[in-house]
Chains A and B, each alone.
Chain A
Amino acid sequence: GDSVTQMEGPVTLSEEAFLTINCTYTATGYPSLFWYVQYPGEGLQLLLKATKADDKGSNKGFEATYRKETTSFHLEKGSVQVSDSAVYFCALSDQSGGSYIPTFGRGTSLIVHP
């Protein structure tokens, strides 16, 4: 079945540092890939997405490129802020029985210090 593996956290950085959170996936078809973010006390919200190979998703300074050859979708940001502290989930959505059910990684906690 489909699965998503992402690096374990917490990832602790100083403000303005470069961020990479690794994500690899296993899927039988051609999935769409997502990064969701969960701020403390809130539900998940979509950060960015890519629907086909070589697509780059970007939002709020975050970027991720859909790499089919390495089955990866790593999240990057050039300069993190304290407000980026949250849990980040990599996910894929693959059609199964006529429906698209996103499969999530376990989440990576990011802590940014001033």
Chain B
Amino acid sequence: DSGVTQTPKHLITATGQRVTLRCSPRSGDLSVYWYQQSLDQGLQFLIQYYNGEERAKGNILERFSAQQFPDLHSELNLSSLELGDSALYFCASSVEGDPTGELFFGEGSRLTVL
């Protein structure tokens, strides 16, 4: 158990809809990262938050947004969903400032868009 909790584990929805994925980081970790894992693109970095502030942005679509709340949990919002958004979405947390950059991953939220 990594200590990172993601909900829901599975989600099936239709094109055009909006979903929210939730992540609780390990106790004490201030940084949260979101990754998208798909068969054709591998593991793609989306966005990082540190203590409530956006710290780094990767290949995140404009239809997607995220935030980190004062209790440090994070939510990833995906809107106007398309078939191609079907993927496994991982949240990870880390000790910020650790130059080794080790991440602790949740079990992921599998999104299926029909």
Contacts and interface: CB of A to CB of B under 8 A. Distances in A.
Given A89-B43, A96-B56, A104-B42, A43 B102 contact: no
Given A43-B2, A107-B43, A102 B107 contact: no
A97 interface: yes
Given A99-B50, A99-B55, A99-B56, A43 B42 contact: no
Given A43-B108, A105-B42, A100 B4 contact: no
A32 interface: yes
Contacts of A98: 55
Nearest to A31: B101
Contacts of A43: 2, 4, 90, 92, 105-108
A19 B105 CA distance: 25
A102 B107 CA distance: 18
Nearest to A30: B99
Q: Is the interface of A mostly helix, strand, loop or mixed?
A: strand
Interface residues of A, number: 26
Given A43-B4, A43-B106, A49 B100 contact: yes
Interface size class of B (residues with CB under 8 A): 20 to 34
Contacts of A96: 56
Interface in B20-38: 31, 33, 35
A104 B101 contact: no
Interface in B29-78: 31, 33, 35, 42-43, 45, 48, 50, 55-56, 58
Interface of A: 32, 34, 36, 41-46, 49, 51, 89, 93, 95-107
13 contacts: A34-B101, A43-B107, A43-B108, A44-B43, A46-B103, A51-B99, A93-B99, A99-B56, A100-B94, A100-B99, A101-B33, A101-B48, A101-B56
Given A43-B2, A46-B104, A99-B96, 19 more contacts: A43-B4, A43-B90, A43-B106, A44-B90, A44-B92, A44-B103, A45-B104, A46-B103, A89-B43, A93-B99, A93-B100, A96-B56, A97-B55, A98-B55, A100-B99, A101-B45, A102-B101, A104-B35, A106-B42
